[in-house]
Amino acid sequence: MTQPPDARAADTGVIHDIGYRGYTGPRLGRAHATRSLFVQSLRAAYGLGRSGRSKVLPMLLLGVVTVPAVIYVAVAVYMKRDELPVEYAGYLSDLGLVVSIFLASQAPVLLSRDLRHHTVPLYFSRPITRADYVRAKFAAMACAQLLLMAVPLLVLYTGALLAGMDFGHNTGQFLDGLAAAVLYALVPTSVALVIAAATPRRGFGVAAIMGYLVVSSTVAAVVVDMRGPSPGGSDAAQWTALISPNGLVESLVNEVFDLGSGFDRRHAPGAFGAAVFALVAVAMVAGSYRLLLRRYSRV
């Protein structure tokens, strides 16, 4: 039986050479892919590589934490003081609200957007694993937070040295401040990332992170203020700081570096309290990281 012309045409095909060639260059592997994701995420936290509007808030917050440091240096130089009017580590404790705003606004940028636009599976189609993804995002947000807090410390340190203040004293204070900055960059950040990873809606993530950080800090501060003047009440009230990532770090830093004074001073209750606060901080960071791994194991 003879096939119709259309059927015979359908059985034949033509291969067109349109110039596609296989990739023969170097394959950089998982490490390079993970490092690239880290760099891209760190840049995104400050709006770099994104629209101009995305740069406004992070750069504004960077200015907010830096300008007071410039003023402190200028005042010390003008009054010809031998040391700065502020402790390096103590300076960071006044930035709690700025820390919360930065985390609430930028943590969802790193995680919630990928979930909302379903781009996470695209990352996993490359050599990186889910653990690589979590590691890169966690490190990027922590480094962004550390940068936010290290810049004003560097301004204080540089200004003090240029003004001829004591090198040894300021170097020790600067290192104490960096240690405090690392704690602030790890503990609140880890909690904020877990909250951001829980929802693909950036607005919900912003509200949830800001709500938790601010409300927990406020509750802990109110309890300390209410119980402060009573005998033994201050130390008992200090344990409420454990519910707040920012309060936990501030109390631990104040106790370790002997900062602050008065009944309303936030501090870990003695050596035992400092040990407990340090263990809770480690558990908070490690637990948050494990929760992130578990969250992305199901994506």
pLDDT grade, residue 81 (50/70/90)?
confident
| Tens-digit pLDDT profile for residues 132-167 | 999 999 999 999 999 999 999 999 999 999 988 999
Report whether pLDDT(231) > 70: no
Q: Is the pLDDT of residue 3 over 60?
A: no
Task: Please say if the pLDDT value at position 6 is more than 90.
Answer: no
Say what the pLDDT of residue 29 is: 80
What is the distance between the alpha carbons of residues 142 and 114, in angstroms, rounded to a whole number? 18
Phi/psi for 287 (5° steps) reads: -65, -40
Structure token pair of residue 26: 């170097």
Does 227 score more than 80 pLDDT? no
Dist. CA 267–CA 261, nearest whole Å: 10
Task: Tally Cβ neighbours within 10 Å of residue 155.
Answer: 18
What was the pLDDT predicted at 60? 93
- Do residues 202 and 154 make contact, with C-beta atoms less than 8 angstroms apart? no
User: Among 148-162, 224-238, 252-266, 277-291, which stretch is predicted with the lowest mean pLDDT?
Assistant: 224-238
Across the range 64-85, mean pLDDT stands at: 91
Rounded to whole angstroms, how far apart are CA atoms 135 and 155? 30
Cα–Cα dist 186/286, whole Å? 10
pLDDT of residue 148: 93
Structure confidence at residue 64 as a pLDDT band (50, 70, 90):
very high
Residue of 253, 247, 225 whose CA lies nearest to 237: 225
Q: What percentage of the chain carries pLDDT values higher than 70?
A: 90
Q: What is the mean pLDDT of residues 55-84?
A: 91
> End-to-end CA distance of the chain, in Å?
55
Report the predicted TM-score, pTM, of the whole model to 2 decimal places: 0.84
